[in-house]
Amino acid sequence: MKANVIKSFGGFDTFEYQEIEKPSPKPGYVLVKVLATGVNLLDHYIREGTIVPELSFPHILGADAAGEVAELGEGVNGFNVGERVIVVPGFPGNKEDLDVRPTVTAPSFGLPGLHISGTYTQYMEVPAYAIVKDETGLTAEESATLPVALSTAVHAVKGIGEVKAGDKVLIHSGASGSGAIQIQVAKALGAQVATTVRSDEKAKFAKSIGADLVINTNNDDFVTKVQEWTDGAGADVVIDNLAGDILPKSIEAVKATGVVVAFGFAAGPEVKFDIRSIFFAQKNLKGSMASDIEDLTWGLEQVKAGKIKPVLDKAFPLSQAGKVHELISKGKVVGRHVLLPWAV
């Protein structure tokens, strides 16, 4: 079978598209034929070597897999060969840790493409408890845009941010893979959403997926705009995918006692802020990382109900992983690009 592997950390040309041995599923495992895999900014960071200092090479990146059941290991019930499935984008390696919540705190927790072998491959072997049936009716390309973005959006917006109907929520980079889904999760919960973008094209897109207020930060200051939008109160919740020099302003934009959810660091991992901006008005800064299987299941139900739509930008053959990493590293994506392991 074909996979696109990396044998060291490095640039966009580090990938080697090659033949590797096809796994055979162990008892309790399922062999998934990967029909499409989403490309996350995290994959690019891991490839560069900025997330972990060491990996066991050769390594397969990727956490988003939509596919079908190719083979069942001994003792696996409840799935049929040929059935469409989605791989849970993060799960415990040991069955004993299955009930640990949040799942990310389980001692044996692993993210495909980081701690364990990932999705840039034609087949992957996963425990049967780490797949869910794909009953969305979407194409595999569309489904592959969802696992990470959808489940982590549900975790951050519904779980950690506790967004509810009537809330006014600020979500950064509304045309990004994560932001575009976070907007739709917040809308599905009945909230009003403001979002930031940096181009008119992305502003148009963010409006089209339901953002109530779109702020182009090339033209306007988002703190001022959010203050106006909330009659001076500030947002109930801010989902901050950016960190860097943006997060201190997210703290400014949230209301007294409100919540800023630290979700990502697309604008840089180091943040400097005055601690008084948090404790005088009793604001909350909370981290959100990965998701639980319940987040994915809830999210997929919203997709099935038509409340959340996948945002597929373009599909490329798996061999072009390096090119796609370069595109996403430069922000040249609206929603998600996907790789197709069976396209030539």
Ligand X SMILES: NC(=O)c1ccc[n+]([C@@H]2O[C@H](COP(=O)([O-])OP(=O)(O)OC[C@H]3O[C@@H](n4cnc5c(N)ncnc54)[C@H](OP(=O)(O)O)[C@@H]3O)[C@@H](O)[C@H]2O)c1
Binding site for ligand X (CB under 6 A): 40-42, 148, 152, 173, 175-178, 197-198, 202, 241-242, 244, 263-267, 288-290, 328, 331, 333
- Residues paired with residue 260 on neighbouring β-strands, in sequence order: 238, 285
Decide whether 31 or 42 has the Cβ nearer to ligand X: 42
Report, in Å, the least distance between residue 182 CB and ligand X.
9
Report, in Å, the least distance between residue 7 CB and ligand X.
23
Report, in Å, the least distance between residue 78 CB and ligand X.
28
Q: Is residue 241 within 8 Å of 223, Cβ to Cβ? A: no
Buried b (16+ CB within 10 A) or exposed e, 275-292: eeeeeeeebebeebbbbb
Give the span between the Cα atoms of 223 and 219, in whole angstroms: 13
Decide whether 29 or 265 has the Cβ nearer to ligand X: 265
Report, in Å, the least distance between residue 142 CB and ligand X.
16
**235-240 vs 254-262, strand pairing mode:** parallel
Report, in Å, the least distance between residue 18 CB and ligand X.
26
Decide whether 132 or 267 has the Cβ nearer to ligand X: 267
Decide whether 49 or 331 has the Cβ nearer to ligand X: 331
Instruction: Tell me how many degrees the CA angle 322-46-118 measures, rounded to the nearest 5.
Output: 80
* 3-class SS of residue 83: coil
Decide whether 64 or 167 has the Cβ nearer to ligand X: 64
Among the residues of 49-173, which ranges form H helices? Answer: 140-143, 147-153
Decide whether 119 or 173 has the Cβ nearer to ligand X: 173
Which token pair is 155? 């975790």
Decide whether 202 or 225 has the Cβ nearer to ligand X: 202
Q: What is the DSSP letter of 112?
A: B
Decide whether 76 or 246 has the Cβ nearer to ligand X: 246
Give the span between the Cα atoms of 112 and 117, in whole angstroms: 6
Report, in Å, the least distance between residue 145 CB and ligand X.
10
Q: Is residue 251 within 8 Å of 277, Cβ to Cβ? A: yes
* 3-class SS of residue 326: helix
Give the span between the Cα atoms of 210 and 231, in whole angstroms: 21
Report, in Å, the least distance between residue 160 CB and ligand X.
9
| Residue whose token pair is 């495992």 | 29
Decide whether 24 or 224 has the Cβ nearer to ligand X: 224
Select the residue whose beta carbon is closest to ligand X and give its number.
Answer: 264
Closest among 256, 258, 224 to 240, alpha carbons compared = 258
Report, in Å, the least distance between residue 126 CB and ligand X.
19
Q: Is residue 215 within 8 Å of 225, Cβ to Cβ? A: yes
Q: Is residue 235 within 8 Å of 255, Cβ to Cβ? A: yes
- What is the DSSP code string of 48-67? HTSS-S---SSEE---EEEE
Report, in Å, the least distance between residue 320 CB and ligand X.
17
